[in-house]
Amino acid sequence: MITGKPLYTVEQIQQRVKEMAGQISKDYEGEELLSVGILRGSFMFFSDIVKLIRVPMNIDFLIASSYVKTHSTGKIKLHADIREDIKGRHVLLIEDIVDTGLTLAYIREMLLARKPASLKICTFLDKKSRREVDVPLDYVGFEIPNKYVVGYGLDCENKFRNLPYIVVFKKSS
């Protein structure tokens, strides 16, 4: 059940994505970037932010998960890996939300082992209060409370991803 008004409106999301893209463009000025989206949740954020980043860029995706329904299992499953060789390249990993940090830490270590020139992490939402593993985040859209949220790519049992805003979701009793 979706509750109350949006936590972040379409306008707030668009403004923050624009600000983040501006900072990333500035930080990578004069460099070529490989942006890697973590699917499925990041697809809306990824699409919006890469359109606004103003440096030469290649894109790739990987699919990883640790959730079953609304709970993290703590076990990371890599469903699809990136196809690009990242050795010696500047890589920007783009995530929808960082919760426990387990999935992101796993992916980060996997990519660092491939010897990129640099690896930075960009997440739209950061739920610090749930963190189990410390993961360095270079670009953060919003820090959110410990609430289950859906919309803007985030789902509950693969529903609500298409909402253009972010809203709190509560399981009905």
CB 95 within 8 A of CB 104: yes
Q: State the residue for tokens 């606004």.
A: 52
Q: Which residue is catalytic, options 48, 60, 96, 99?
A: 99
Which residue type does 122 have?
C
- Which residues, listed in sequence order, are joined to residue 64 by a DSSP beta bridge? 78
Task: Kindly report, residue by residue over 109-145, the tens digit of the pLDDT.
Answer: 999 999 999 999 999 999 999 999 999 999 999 999 9
Buried b (16+ CB within 10 A) or exposed e, 65-95: bbbeeeebeeebeeeeebeeebeebbbbbbb
CB 5 within 8 A of CB 172: no
Mean pLDDT (10-residue bins), the chain, 173 residues: 86 99 98 96 97 98 76 76 97 96 95 99 97 96 95 93 94 65
Domains defined for the chain, CATH in brackets: 2-157 (3.40.50.2020)
The pLDDT of residue 74 is 66
Annotated catalytic, 155? no
| Spatial separation of the C-alpha atoms in residues 60 and 99, rounded to whole Å | 23
Which residues neighbour 19 within 8 Å (Cβ) at sequence distance 6 or greater? none
Q: Which pair of tokens denotes residue 53?
A: 């980043």
Which residues neighbour 29 within 8 Å (Cβ) at sequence distance 6 or greater? 55
| Spatial separation of the C-alpha atoms in residues 156 and 16, rounded to whole Å | 24
